[in-house]
């Protein structure tokens, strides 16, 4: 442990110089990256720019006792890229604000940055600026992501029309179940520090929690399929909450069929083990970072064979409200049970 | 006090709705503001986009016992606008991340936002997005600002040439002296809570600390004067530190004349009262948010009568190093005593 370097030894400027060394810029629109008062970007003609910001706060969004810093760095970028993807835009740049307690070492910050760089490579994003400072509380990661999209093609959550088909990508509930596994292993460790964590059987759900991926692949595939969603958002607070947001913004109702909600087998197995209703996990488990979107009925043929897109229902007139349709055919009002951060 | 509303009562989405109500958008480049996964912007053709981010962290950058929340909100925007101005760009949009302890009330957040809105109006900036979350530590304010500048006209810190004239705007050291006054009054209050703060004689320096202004006015005036600075940055960490940054980036030395450093009378008086060397305050007191810039000698006539721009020296060849020239004509190496946040 004696090889670790306290942050105070390098100081803010020394740390910035050290982190900056490993950064490469690949976006043609990046004119100037880290190192000045601001980065300079040149969005191509005919493109609009999207911008989104997300905070990850220790003790609220993550627990350093089971979140490896590299994964955390990756996730912090991925969740912002996910918001860009949810506009049908291509992410281009991020800026990163870090507020770090003095117990952090230079090596810890490098791990965090290594994860952010990995995500930047995976999503083709340039890290072009940031601010690095101390903290009197825990670690706070603030990322702002920029993206580009052909003018007029950005997809808002408000564009859904009654009869539009409601689709989700991937599968649901996994990230929430991964969190249950991690919390259980943490309690076991606290009760007996000699316990080895038993995570091997839960790789899928734990990965979903610790290292989610933004569905940028789907953005590219929708473009290739010639499908322009009418409304879209990413599932960060749970499917139910996002469907309600979409319907509120679009001025529609919706019918979501419980039997169509996609869940992976490892998630179903974990739900059974934890005595959790899989439907609740799919509807209200957050942090899956899948995309929820609507398309006109006439585009159904284009997506129906896509292995990673599932039709889960459709929008309706507003006065039909937002309902979950059970296997038995009953309509139950959909309710959000989002996480209250305060 | 019973009328105050705990944050948990509104929840994250309720709070966002409430804060969103008062926001007006005025920038032609803002296509879509708060309320979706990302904001949508359309930078005009021929313009480049600059982007910068800054964190303000409770206990590191501010002390809520003497920083009114409205001022703090204003300052958080101003310091980001200052970075945009330092590129010779016009600020256009900001996004705001807030991590707030649960002891915060809705009314407190509204005060903070009121200050941010005031600054947005003052600088013509649209608040287009954000993220609002809890905190297990203190308040963290993370702002990312975007700006526009004619392609190729953004001013970097690296463009200074030997013989270029070195200029600063406004006056120096005031914000640091304001902090001394506030810290003294806080100690007096802690020692005897019946003490009334004595701030009337220190209005100028206290304002410089609590409610600094970004020198966007100078950006406009330089454009009107037809002056394109060769290098520029804003003075956040103290003049000495910023001159050293500029020289390192530009590959030059510099001569800064101590007798030319501009200080306001209230700052000089406060320095005398606190037994502080005014020169040290001017060189190393941070947070003045004035602009430091260089112009070619041939542009000297254009700025020499400007009441708010002072020539403090000039750049030199790199091997002449960065020196402070004392009144007696002695050359002393300039040294930064920046604040270490860790």
Nearest CA distance, A127 vs chain B (angstrom): 11
Range of the domain at A257: 165-333
Same domain, B22 and B127: yes
B77 touches B111 (CB < 8 A)? no
- The average pLDDT across A23-44 equals 94
B134 touches A60 (CB < 8 A)? yes
Total domains present in chain A: 2
Residue among B160, B159, B336, B327 at smallest CA distance from B253 = B160
Nearest to A60 among B97, B134, B145 (CB): B134
Query: Would you say residue A256 lies in a domain?
Result: yes
- Residue A2: pLDDT band (50, 70, 90) is low
Query: Would you say residue A28 lies in a domain?
Result: yes
Taking contacts as CB-CB distances below 8 angstroms, the residues of chain A near B91 are none
CA max distance for chain B? 66
pLDDT in tens, A61-98: 999 988 899 999 999 999 999 999 999 999 999 999 99
**How far apart, in whole angstroms, are the C-alpha atoms of residue B95 and residue B143?**
6
How many percent of chain A have pLDDT more than 70?
A: 98
As a whole number, the mean pLDDT across chain A is 92
Nearest CA distance, A302 vs chain B (angstrom): 25
B115 is an annotated ligand-binding site residue: no
Same domain, A176 and A125: no
H helix count then E strand count, chain B: 10, 13
Nearest CA distance, B271 vs chain A (angstrom): 28
Query: Would you say residue A195 lies in a domain?
Result: yes
Domain end call among B94, B126, B150: B150
pLDDT of residue B1: 45
Query: Would you say residue B291 lies in a domain?
Result: yes
Partner B, chain A 138-157, Cβ-Cβ below 8 Å:
138, 140, 142, 144-147, 149, 151, 154, 156-157
pLDDT of residue A82: 98
Would you say residue A195 has pLDDT above 90?
no
> Would the CB atoms of A100 and B249 count as touching at under 8 Å?
no
**How far apart, in whole angstroms, are the C-alpha atoms of residue B130 and residue B122?**
20
How many percent of chain A have pLDDT more than 90?
A: 80
ipTM, interface predicted TM-score of the complex: 0.92
pLDDT of residue A1: 45
Same domain, B219 and B264: yes
**How far apart, in whole angstroms, are the C-alpha atoms of residue A291 and residue A170?**
8
Chain A contact present for B342, CB below 8 A: yes
Between the alpha carbon of residue A248 and those of residues A36, A88, B11, B15, B70, the distances in Å are 42, 20, 17, 17, 32
pLDDT of residue A102: 85
Residue among B17, B26, B40, B39 at smallest CA distance from B113 = B17
Nearest chain A residue to B63 by CA: give it: A136
- Residue A339: pLDDT band (50, 70, 90) is low
Task: Please name the residues in contact with A57: beta carbons below 8 A apart, sequence gap of 6 or more.
Answer: A138, A139, A140, A141, B99, B133, B134, B135, B136, B140
By CB atoms closer than 10 A (0-12, 13-18, 19+), residue B290 is buried
Same domain, B283 and B320: yes
Same domain, A45 and A176: no
pLDDT top residue among A7 and A74: A74
Residue-by-residue pLDDT tens, chain B, 342 positions: 457 888 878 777 777 777 777 888 999 999 999 999 999 999 999 999 999 999 999 999 999 988 899 999 999 999 999 999 999 999 999 999 999 998 888 889 999 999 999 999 999 999 999 999 999 889 999 999 999 999 999 999 999 999 999 999 999 999 999 999 999 988 888 888 887 777 788 999 999 999 999 999 999 999 999 999 999 999 999 999 999 999 999 999 999 999 999 999 999 999 999 999 999 999 999 999 999 999 999 999 999 999 999 999 999 999 889 999 999 999 999 988 755 555
Instruction: Tell me how crowded residue B67 is: count the other CB atoms within 10 A of its CB.
Output: 20
> Would the CB atoms of A87 and B38 count as touching at under 8 Å?
yes
Query: Would you say residue B158 lies in a domain?
Result: no
Return the sign of the alpha-carbon dihedral for residues B61, B64, B68, B73.
Answer: positive
> Would the CB atoms of A146 and B51 count as touching at under 8 Å?
yes
Same domain, A107 and A174: no
Long-range contacts of B61-65 (CB under 8 A, 24+ apart): B61/A133, B63/B182, B63/B186, B64/B138, B64/B139, B65/B186, B65/B189
B169 is an annotated ligand-binding site residue: no
Helix (H/G/I), strand (E/B), else coil: B220: helix
> Would the CB atoms of B133 and A61 count as touching at under 8 Å?
yes
CA max distance for chain A? 66
Chain A contact present for B87, CB below 8 A: yes
Taking contacts as CB-CB distances below 8 angstroms, the residues of chain B near A109 are none
pLDDT of residue B339: 54
> Would the CB atoms of A59 and B157 count as touching at under 8 Å?
no
Query: Would you say residue A267 lies in a domain?
Result: yes
Nearest CA distance, A201 vs chain B (angstrom): 32
B157 is an annotated ligand-binding site residue: yes
Same domain, B228 and B93: no
> Would the CB atoms of B97 and A53 count as touching at under 8 Å?
yes
Same domain, B191 and B322: yes
**How far apart, in whole angstroms, are the C-alpha atoms of residue B198 and residue A19?**
45
Q: Tell me the binding residues of A for ATP.
A: 113, 130-131, 157, 236
pLDDT of residue A203: 93
Tokens, residue A246: 């979409």
Between the alpha carbon of residue A220 and those of residues A201, B117, B138, the distances in Å are 33, 37, 41
> Would the CB atoms of B40 and A58 count as touching at under 8 Å?
no
Would you say residue A342 has pLDDT above 70?
no
Taking contacts as CB-CB distances below 8 angstroms, the residues of chain B near A145 are 38
pLDDT of residue A271: 96
pLDDT of residue A194: 82
> Which of B20, B27, B35, B36 is the best substitution to test chain A (most A C-beta atoms within 10 A)?
B36
Mean pLDDT lowest among A60-69, A157-166, A323-332, B136-145: A60-69
Same domain, B325 and B276: yes
Helix ranges (DSSP H) in A226-277: 239-250, 265-273
pLDDT of residue B193: 83
Same domain, A130 and A194: no
Partner A, chain B 228-267, Cβ-Cβ below 8 Å:
232-234, 249
Nearest CA distance, B54 vs chain A (angstrom): 6
Task: Please name the residues in contact with B307: beta carbons below 8 A apart, sequence gap of 6 or more.
Answer: none
Tell me the DSSP string of A265-323: HHHHHHHHHTT--HHHHHHH------EEEEE-GGGHHHHTT-TTEEEEEEEE-GGG-EE
Task: Provide Rg for chain A, Cα atoms.
Answer: 21
B79 touches B215 (CB < 8 A)? no
By CB atoms closer than 10 A (0-12, 13-18, 19+), residue B224 is exposed
Label the pairing between strands B90-101 and B140-150: antiparallel
Distance of CA A167 to the CA centre of its chain: 17
Query: Would you say residue A155 lies in a domain?
Result: no
Domain end call among B100, B124, B150: B150
What CATH number does residue B305 fall under? Answer: 3.90.650.10
Label the pairing between strands B47-57 and B39-41: unpaired
Would you say residue A124 has pLDDT above 70?
yes
> Would the CB atoms of A51 and B59 count as touching at under 8 Å?
no
Mean pLDDT lowest among A192-201, A267-276, B43-52, B211-220: A192-201
Tokens, residue B54: 């800054």
pLDDT of residue A340: 57
What CATH number does residue A116 fall under? Answer: 3.30.1330.10
B52 is an annotated ligand-binding site residue: yes
Same domain, A137 and A198: no
**How far apart, in whole angstroms, are the C-alpha atoms of residue B38 and residue A83?**
6
Nearest to B53 among A60, A97, A156 (CB): A97
Domain end call among A125, A150, A175: A150
Query: Would you say residue B155 lies in a domain?
Result: no
Tokens, residue B81: 């606008």
Residue among A81, A333, A294 at smallest CA distance from A167 = A294
Same domain, A220 and A145: no
Chain A contact present for B20, CB below 8 A: no
Nearest CA distance, A213 vs chain B (angstrom): 16
């Amino acid at each position: 442990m004696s090889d670790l370097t306290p942050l105070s030894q390098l100081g803010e400027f020394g740390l910035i110089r050290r982190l900056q060394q490993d950064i490469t810029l690949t976006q043609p629109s990046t004119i100037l990256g880290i190192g000045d008062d601001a980065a300079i970007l040149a969005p191509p003609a005919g493109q609009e720019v999207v911008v989104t910001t997300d905070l990850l706060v220790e003790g609220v969004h993550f627990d350093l006792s089971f979140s490896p810093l590299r994964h955390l760095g990756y996730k912090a970028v991925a969740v912002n890229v996910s918001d860009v993807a949810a506009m049908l835009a291509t992410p281009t740049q991020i800026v990163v604000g870090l507020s770090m307690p003095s117990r952090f070492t230079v090596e810890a910050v490098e791990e965090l940055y290594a994860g952010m760089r990995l995500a930047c490579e995976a999503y083709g994003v340039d890290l072009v600026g940031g601010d690095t400072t101390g903290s009197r509380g825990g670690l706070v990661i603030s990322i702002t992501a920029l993206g580009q999209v052909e003018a007029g093609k950005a997809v808002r959550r408000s564009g859904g029309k009654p009869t539009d088909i409601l689709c989700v990508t991937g599968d649901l509930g996994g990230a929430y179940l991964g969190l249950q596994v991690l919390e259980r292993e943490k309690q076991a460790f606290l009760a007996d520090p000699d316990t080895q964590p038993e995570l091997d059987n839960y790789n899928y759900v734990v990965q979903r929690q610790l290292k989610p991926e933004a569905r940028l692949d789907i953005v590219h595939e929708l473009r290739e399929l010639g499908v322009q969603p009418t409304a879209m958002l990413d599932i960060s607070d749970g499917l139910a909450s996002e469907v309600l947001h979409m319907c509120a913004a679009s001025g529609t109702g919706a019918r979501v069929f419980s039997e169509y909600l996609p869940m992976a087998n490892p998630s179903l197995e974990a739900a059974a083990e934890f005595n959790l209703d899989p439907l609740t996990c799919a509807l209200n488990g957050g942090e899956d970072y899948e995309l929820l979107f609507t398309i006109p009925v006439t585009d159904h043929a284009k997506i129906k064979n896509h292995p990673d897109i599932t039709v889960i229902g459709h929008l309706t007139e507003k006065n039909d409200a937002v309902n979950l349709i059970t296997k038995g055919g009953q309509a139950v009002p959909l309710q959000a049970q989002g996480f209250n951060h305060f």
